[in-house]
Structure 1
Amino acid sequence: MAIVFHALANPNRFLKLARPATAICLWAGLALIAFGCWAGLTQTPPDYLQGETVRIMYIHVPSAWLGMAGWSSLAIASFSYLVWRHPLAAVAARAIAMPGALFTALCLITGSIWGRPTWGTWWQWDGRLTSMLLLFFVYLAYMALARADRERGGDARIPALFGIAGTVLLPIIHYSVIWWNTLHQGPSITLSGSSIAESILWPLWFTLAGFTLFFAAIVLMRMRAELATQKAEARMRRLTHA
């Protein structure tokens, strides 16, 4: 397993795979998002309680998923960097942070829009909303820390440790609706099934897959851009010392 990881972590091998993978993820993701949103807006009935506002689900749920999955991926990349010292893992962690923060912010925004007609308020300091807001701030803190570490010539260990430590928020977010009395509804989709009617639920799978592929495309683009920048900087240093 370690041998495979070392081979895939080679920047040249990564770039050969990343170039076509970026295009595939981008266009497939956009197509799935477009179809899912069209189906969610035109091919599903309104909810018997929430009416038309339930359609925000097709954006809100993928955003919440990617906010949490993004930090999980960032933590895995950070752990890989600390264990195997592959610079590509640190590049991956930095590349994940920005889209992770954007989707977390989108989750908070769509959640507030959804909450206004459903709960009668734009915001409530309950467990789920507050913990998700904290995750957004943790993303911002990681990006600031990673940037400062690079500017001072650090070895990326401190941001990696921060990335792993931040995972403590993930179970808090997940179980917040169970642990505390909250306006936010409990888990609607679990391993045992879904409490959402299938006539409303089915477009969600398309937007969920589409936004996930779109997220992957953004991460790959950012990784390729950073590797290109590093290559250009290394070339400039060689010319300077020539």
Structure 2
Amino acid sequence: MARRLPVVGGIAAGSVLLLAGPAFAHVTVQPGTAPKGGFATVDIKVPNERDNASTVKVEVSLPADHPLASVMPQPVPGWKVEVTKSKLAKPIEMEGEKITEAPSTVTWTADGDGIAPGQFQQFPLSVGQLPSDTDQLVFKALQTYSNKEVVRWIEPAKPGGPEPENPAPVLKLTAADAQDGGAKGAGDGKNGAKDGSTAAAAPASDTTARVLAIGGIVVGVIGVAFGVLAGRRRNA
């Protein structure tokens, strides 16, 4: 049996490598859902699918049919980021202000080696205001490798159909919860109650700790006394 274990281990390791292979590595939006009508922070997750090249550039096209007035990237060490704006065919309003141009693309360019083979990188974005009249937003992406190869993640997925070879990243939009504000307040209240419970429980915990400590001392004293008596009996 001992000789067979390395073989079984090798098979298991091979299975893990297969599951982690390129067929399962796509450019995606994480998390994949966000509530309609609000703002969200998402990550553009970019895995490197090549064994002989690094990812040195990522360009994401923002949805033109549902423009996002606010798009703010979080700095990523080792990468330069540029947000390009375009004029809107139809102005939109956000918080009472008319918006005539909006971000159309976000481009990250590596300062150094980029994303190495077998690794991935997340690029955080704060986006909003998310539309209320659609169930999803499509973020088409171009991934450029150090060998000049460009992979176009732009293919839309069809409902009920097979997954495209290079699917476009999608952010699913869920119904906005009318209780969001109240739930947040309730959450704060719960936190307050939790803090209060913790504060109230602290004295009880201290008392318990003291009792246990005293008990431990008493047991220790008894043990020492017993040892002394036992020693005297042996000497006698």
> TM-score band (shorter)?
under 0.3
- The structure that has the greater radius of gyration is 2
Instruction: Give the structure with the higher percent helix.
Output: 1
Q: TM-score, normalised by structure 2?
A: 0.21
Q: TM-score, normalised by structure 1?
A: 0.21
Instruction: Give the structure with the higher percent strand.
Output: 2
